[in-house]
Chain A
Amino acid sequence: MNRLNLKIKGIEFNNPFILASGVWDIDSGIELQDYGAVILKGVNLKGKEGNPPPRIYETAGGMINSIGLENKGVSELIRRKNEIMNLGTKIFGNVFGSSIEEFGEVVERLDFLDGFEINVSCPNYEGTFFGRNPEIVYKITKIVREKTDNIVFVKITPDTDFFIDVSRAAEDAGADGIVCANTYRGLVVDINERKPVLGGITGGVSGPGIKPLTMLRVWELSKKIKIPIIASGGVYRWEDTIEYILCGATMVEIGSVIFRNPFILKDIIKNVNKFLDFYNIDNIIKLKGKLEV
């Protein structure tokens, strides 16, 4: 019996665990087939060189990165279409752009993918600024919605008090889910050099240290929108996924933890199943939003 399967927009997922964008690549050798879905590295129309090194640094309870959305552009994904579609699970594109139209164009050209995560929130790109403005997020979601019938998630930034307004705008424009949330903007300093540690100066903070912050946003958001929430932020143990679902998430992204444990999904599936068995719950979705306050 599969206690983990669920449907979004009539599409069945084997489980609610999604491998996040930016922590793996097609050639990484990570076992992907057991994830409910996987999200490709962020892509725009023409590609991007990325930020100068150092690009990654450990912080207390997490890490900060300033990769800068390095990618080879949409044509590279089209060239590797067969390889991508044989990865053995549902494949989503993570799409960003420097204009509203660019989002639409990228999605149109990648419509062979199972779905899209619209990235209006990367802190290492002007995306965050798009993501703070409900009107712009509405327009981006709308243009993407017109280009594809496949699943569209919008990944929001946690760095705004208006994240609920932004999410509602995406919902109104036809998004199928909200990914809550991207990394938090941050800065680390080398006191001897009196300089930022990262080549890109600022970066995005992630890891277990930010989990309570994102947990709160997921919980608050769950009371304000009707479309599913995909929680993303600091999942390092199987218990974290249950926590997010109790707070209202339908699916949960697994990210940087795979750096130290590329096989963590097996542990998560095994232990979540044990947990459901222990409480005699026949499907994980029954826990959704069951936080008692």
Chain B
Amino acid sequence: MERLKIILKKNEKIGKFNLLCFEGEFHYTPSPGNFYMLSKDNYEFILPRPFSVFDFKNGKIYFLIKKVGRFTDFLFHLKPGEEIFLNGPYGKKIEHFDKIIFIAGGIGFAPLHFHSLFTNDFYFFFGGTTKDEILCHKFIEKNIFVSTDDGSFGYKGDVLSLFKSHLNKIDFKERKIFACGPRNMLKELKKISEEIKIETYFYMEERMGCGFGGCKGCAIKTINNYRLLCKEGTVFLSSEVIFE
């Protein structure tokens, strides 16, 4: 784990999201499954915020951001040359890099994109509400299937319907699913994956305090009682997670 000052190089609007590129003197390299805590040393933002990695190359780190609150609003308005702090990498590394089906809903695209960069053989299903949310599909060159709720781009419907409609067209039997998206999507996918008997992993999200297992703030309910997202995840087997 390290704490670095990182400097914004580029803040690019991609549809509804912003892609932020930061430069810093990294001593550690993030792996899929890792995340970072971003912060500003002031009294406006007391807690650091967790963000998964979109990409990491040539000493630069990329975060894909959706505006959901005060801190992401601050990031949207960050200008090149401005600094923030980064702590990490935190979270457990993923060990699976072969024969994967990625299923992303909205901003859930970010960690799966990073994971896909390490994976040779994959299918990537990506759904958004409108085409503003799916412009990121251009980052994936092959085997990408896209849906929008309003049909403004790709398949009309949700990403799980799109995935199900492809079950007879792709070789899914020997594969694992890695998914990230809204809780309702994951809850539904848990049922589907149990029906078709395919090992499935979820990148989970919860409000977080520290990132290093200190505050025990990011507990999620699992079949083995509460588990900490930051230390024991953020990726969990779908069969372990209890949705309420």
Contact = CB atoms under 8 A, between A and B. Distances in A.
A262 B226 contact: no
A58 B47 contact: yes
B220 interface: yes
Interface in B36-54: 37, 39, 41, 43, 45-48
Interface in B1-40: 1, 3, 37, 39
Q: How large is the interface on A (under 10, 10 to 19, 20 to 34, 35 or more residues)?
A: 35 or more
A55 B207 contact: yes
B155 interface: no
B231 interface: yes
Given A28-B213, A256-B209, A259-B210, A55 B218 contact: yes
Contacts of B226: 49-50, 53, 70
A28 B214 contact: yes
Interface string B181-220: 0000000000000000000000000111111111111111
Contact of A261 (B43, B85, B217, B221): B85
Contacts of B47: 56, 58, 63, 256, 259-260
A54 B216 CA distance: 11
A64 to B, nearest CB: 10
A260 B37 contact: yes
Interface string A245-269: 0000000000010111111000000
A30 B221 CA distance: 26
B213 to A, nearest CB: 5
Interface stretch (A19-27, A130-138, A175-183, A270-278): A19-27
B165 interface: no
Nearest to B230: A28
Given A55-B219, A261-B3, 10 more contacts: A25-B212, A28-B212, A29-B1, A41-B216, A52-B221, A54-B206, A55-B217, A65-B217, A259-B215, A260-B87
Among all A-B residue pairs, the 6 with the closest Cβ atoms: A56-B217, A259-B210, A24-B214, A260-B39, A260-B48, A28-B212
Interface of A: 22-25, 27-30, 41, 49-50, 52-59, 61-63, 65, 67, 70, 207-208, 236, 256, 258-263
